[in-house]
Amino acid sequence: MSFIGRLQQKRDELRAQQADPWYVRLDRAHGKLGDDGVERISTQTLFDILEVPQRGRTAAAGRRVAAIMR
């Protein structure tokens, strides 16, 4: 992919993240640092931070959270 293409892709990703109301709350979420230096947090903990009710914790909601966290 060309440099311009990568810039456009990154721009689109940033716009998508900022348009999601969950982005601001998830931006401040922090997990625990593992022995391998990777920070991890469970999806259930993120749903708790977002105050998503149990019936709303669907696979689609999990994918939405995962996309924002990436």
pLDDT of residue 54: 95
Q: What is the dihedral of CA 37, 68, 53, 51, to 10 degrees?
A: 70
What is the band of 57 on the pLDDT scale with cuts at 50, 70, 90?
A: very high
Q: What is the pLDDT of residues 1-15, one digit of tens each?
A: 789 888 888 888 777
Output the CA torsion sign for 70, 16, 57, 52: positive
Would you kindly state where each structural domain of the chain is located, as residue ranges? 3-69
Q: Label residue 34 left, alpha or beta by phi (over 0 means left) and psi (-120 to 50 means alpha).
A: beta
Output the CA torsion sign for 49, 52, 54, 56: negative
pLDDT of residue 28: 85
Q: What is the pLDDT of residues 4-56, one digit of tens each?
A: 888 888 888 777 666 778 888 888 888 899 999 999 999 999 999 999 999 99
